Structure 1
Amino acid sequence: MLKIRLPATMRSGGAWFRRLARTTPGAIGAVAVISVVLCLLAGSTSADQLSGKVARRDTVLERTEPLAYAAQTLYVALSAADASAATAFLSGGIESPQVRGKYQQALAAAAAALSEATTGAADQQTRTIVAKIAADLPAYTGLVETARANNRQGFPVGSSYLHEASLLMQNSLLPNAERLSKDRMAGLRQDQHDIGALPWTTIVLLLLVLISCGAGTFVLLRRTNRRVNLGLAVGAGATAVALLWLIAATTIAATALDTGKSGATSRFEALTQARILAQQARTDETLELITRGDITASETDYRKHTTELADLLATVTGPDSAASRGVLSWTAGHAKQREAYEAANYPGAVAQAIGTGSESSAMRFAQLDQLLHDNLIEERSELRDGVDSAGAALTLAPAGTLVLLFGAAAALITGLWPRLKEFL
């Protein structure tokens, strides 16, 4: 077997270091070097990781959370446009400026939200979703305008065009918008997790510093019979303070974020889903009158969406909240619409669905949607306040731990150098 022999200078150098390490000055010097290097490394790592958390807080407030909100707004705006288009169609002939304005406003909001929700998108999945929405939206508006033109002339084929437009919305635009919303919420969750997670690399390094200080105390006790070295004691104390500060600041930040099942982020996400369910049910409610046929399938979808909506709101806002009562009021108005339709009173069903009276389904839905919007804004504000508070808890930690650990390194040098000089 071939053996590789080191050069004589390297062999002699290695032997010299081994002999030095067995001496008292060599042991003290090794402890000093290792401890100081660990302090400097732990201080730099701590400052880097904690500064990254503070920077991530800024990213959440300036980019991640606004993008998540914009993605939710995109879905709601698209769904509102679909419901407004159906309402305009049901009004017959030339719709009122108010009805037309709602449709145009919803499309403008969708376009603005799409632009904002995809700002800086670099991943392939987001680009694919955006491209699909951008391609389908003009096709959707074209079908709606064709339906509108035929409806104004009294041609029955208009309902087919509108039905085709709604299918495009339900089968492509809204699912893609929902995927985008979920992706953005997942990104928000990840950023919050990164802010509140303990920096284990720094913690391990700090523990190694404490172990090194303990080893130095043991070496001094065995080699010099000194029980306490002030430099080692101060260095260990500063390191312990840095460790406690780091853990406390990160724990306070994680508590402020409140990412649990009942936290602000979960409530924000649930209310986003609630608005989506409400818009889906409103679309079911209006489309069933356009088809003027069997409404069993539409009613099944409507009940499914409103039941999920009621259950979700009972959990998030409480069963006696204004939003939960709004769902009951809206479904009661829908029941009147269904009764009129089943009694062959089509004009009465349409009036109940899109009328401007306080008892109409349209007005009750508008009140519910406004309540959901207000609740969502409130939870969004609480979410952002939590993120801001988390960042505030971490603001001084990077500089503070860096100063403590560099101070610990200085204390170690100051404490061990006199002991080392005794043997020189």
Structure 2
Amino acid sequence: MGPRLPATMQNGAVWLRRFGRTTPGAIGAVVIVSVVLCLFAGLTSANQLSGKISRHDRVLQQTEPLAYAAQRLYVALSTADAAAAEAFLSGGIETPAVRARYQQALADAAGALAEATAGASDEQTRLIVARISAELPAFTGLVETARANNRQGFPVGSAYLREASALMRDSLLKNAEELSQSRFAAVRAEQRDIAAMPFTTIGLLLLVLAACGAGSYLLMRRTNRRVNLGLVGAAGASALALVWILLATTIAATALDTGDSGASKEFETLAQARILAQQARTDETLQLIIRGDIAQGEESFTGHIDGLRTRVDAVLGTDSAARTSLDRWTEGHRLQVEAYRAANFNAALNQAIGAGPDGSAARFAALDDTLRTNLADTRRELRDGVDSAGDALGWSPSLILLLLLGAAGSVVVGLWPRLKEFL
């Protein structure tokens, strides 16, 4: 047998058991249980709903801007790679427009990288950003070396440019793409958390309602009073809190629209489409630098174009301006390949980087402008949805806490007179 309790504690336990069987003891138990549940439910509700609002703020101030910066970083790096290839293909001194595009791409990459660095809060993001920061100067150094050799007519310039492009495609762009994917995944996770029902809070509110119901039944059995206004008030406040939470969370989830047709999914899909377009453009220019068998380059180009077309059709439709620009660009690429395979390198080169409106460079620029505009519009819809979700949840923590505090007070006010009758 275990150690026995001291006599005073045994007497106290016996007294509590006896008192609990009396009517005032039962009323006191109802008061304590109901008040504790109301307070616990109120604090838990406020904490869960405040967490949703914190996630809403984090999406608008950090998670979504970082995802947008990540895709801008990829596009800027890819643009720099393509512009460097165009400059090399121009032969000798490149045109001011091509040089300006290359320098602007590097400036955009630096800006996006700085924004990503400022928003990096996890170790994975910091590591990716650090790798890109370390390798970008190496890329620009190789490009400048290739440019200097090309201006002097040295064939070794193409080797430096291929090395620069390999560094860009095998490391810089892969890291940027990984960063973009992880940041968009973070946006989706934050939105799911905002839209999710707070089941812990809902369960506690149901317990409060059950406690109010059980207390009313116990009082009816002990005092023959059918209704206690205090318990009715507590049940009403708890029920109102429950309805408010269900409606606010449902409205927030609807505003976010995290389904396949929602702004979040469309935003990510268009960002992927723009990345695929940049990858295809790089394939297009590298084919002419290699000046050999383009079968592998064509396979890569076709794969990127197929993925791009699928995403454009899914979000914008087959009759959209982006789809029209895409078709015009692929038609221009077909002409480039035909000229190349006919051993007409100058015609292929002119089609790829020529300044004319029918050249692939102009057609690709039209597509990229359209995708950028659509991406900006979809991003605005995404942020508006997150804003609306925040508005729906804005007053919920304070309101629910006040309702549950009111419910606890109602229990005390309603049952104290009944308890005084026996004291």
Q: TM-score, normalised by structure 2?
A: 0.98
Show the counterpart of 1:101. 100
Match in the other structure for 2:57? 58
2:332 aligns with 333
Is residue 42 of structure 2 the alignment partner of residue 46 of structure 1?
Answer: no
- Higher mean alpha-carbon deviation, 97-106 vs 190-199, is at 190-199
Alignment match, 1:129: 128
Kindly report which structure 2 residues correspond to 1:409-424, keeping only aligned pairs within 5 A, or say none: 409-424=408-423
CA distance in 2, matches of 1:61, 1:122: 15
Aligned to 1:144: 143
Partner amino acid, structure 2, of 1:284? D
Q: Match of 2:168, as an amino acid?
A: M
> What secondary structure, in the 3-state scheme, does the structure 2 residue paired with 1:155 have?
coil
| Residues 1:85 and 2:96 aligned together | no
User: 1:261: which partner in 2?
Assistant: 260
Q: How does 1:175-254 map to 2 (within 5 A)?
A: 175-254=174-253
Counterpart CA distance in 2 for 1:324 and 1:277 is: 14
Aligned residue for 2:292, secondary structure, equals: coil
CA contact (8 A) 2:70 2:112 kept: yes
Superimposed CA distance per residue, residues 302-340 of structure 1 (whole angstroms, 9 cap, x where no aligned partner): 111111111111111111111111111100001111111
Q: How many residues are aligned here?
A: 423
State the distance in 1 between where 2:269 and 2:203 align. 38
1:93 Cα deviation after fit:
0.6
- Following the alignment from structure 2 to structure 1, what is the Cα–Cα distance between the partners of residues 347 and 99? 22
Query: Residue type of the partner of 2:149?
Result: N
CA distance in 1, matches of 2:352, 2:125: 36
Distance (whole Å) between structure 2 residues aligned to residue 144 and residue 9 of structure 1:
89
- Provide the C-alpha distance between the structure 1 equivalents of 2:352 and 2:74, rounded to a whole number of angstroms: 22
Structure-2 separation of matches of 1:124 and 1:382? 30
Alignment partners' CA distance in 2, 1:244 and 1:180: 40
Match of 1:322? 321
Structure-2 residue corresponding to 1:14: 13
Q: How does 1:262-281 map to 2 (within 5 A)?
A: 262-281=261-280
Structure 1: which 5+ residue stretches go unaligned? Answer: none
Displaced runs of 4+ in structure 1, greater than 6 A?
A: none
Match of 1:29 in 2: 28
Contact 2:116/2:129 (CA < 8 Å) preserved in 1? no
Contact 2:66–2:119, Cα closer than 8 Å, also in 1? no
Distance 2:409 2:29 in 1: 16
2-side partners of 1:54 and 1:123: how far apart? 21
Larger mean Cα displacement after TM superposition, 386-395 or 407-416: 407-416
Q: Distance in 2 between matches of 1:299 and 1:193?
A: 40
User: Structure 1 residue 52: deviation in Å?
Assistant: 2.0
- Give 2:71's aligned amino acid: Q
- Give the residue type in structure 1 aligned to 2:409: A
| Structure 2 equivalent of residue 365 of structure 1 | 364
Equivalent residue, structure 1, for 2:117:
118
Cα separation, 2, equivalents of 1:122 and 1:314: 35
- Aligned-residue CA RMSD (Å): 1.0
Q: How many Å apart are 1:120 and its aligned residue?
A: 4.3
Q: For 1:337, what is the secondary structure of its paired residue? A: helix
User: 1:309 maps to what in 2?
Assistant: 308
CA positional deviation for 1:219: 0.6
Letter in 2 for 1:355: G
Could you tell me whether the CA contact under 8 Å between 2:143 and 2:164 is conserved in 1? Answer: yes
State the one-letter code of the partner of 1:384.
Answer: R
Residue 209 of structure 1: how far off its partner (Å): 0.6
- Identity rate of aligned residues, in percent? 65
Residues 74-115 of structure 1: CA distance to partner in whole angstroms, max 9, x if unpaired? 011101110110011111110111110110110111111111
State the Cα deviation string for residues 344-377 of structure 1 (Å, max 9, x = none). Answer: 1111111110111110000000000000000100
**Counterpart position of 1:163:** 162
Q: Which residue of 2 aligns with 1:381?
A: 380
1:12 aligns to what SS in structure 2? helix
Residues 80 and 105 in structure 2, CA contact (< 8 A), matched pair in contact too: yes
CA distance in 2, matches of 1:148, 1:229: 88
One-letter identity of the residue aligned with 1:293: G
Aligned residue identity for 2:340: Y
Output the CA distance in 2 between the equivalents of 1:175 and 1:341: 29
In structure 2, C-alpha distance between the alignment counterparts of 1:53 and 1:126, rounded to whole Å: 23
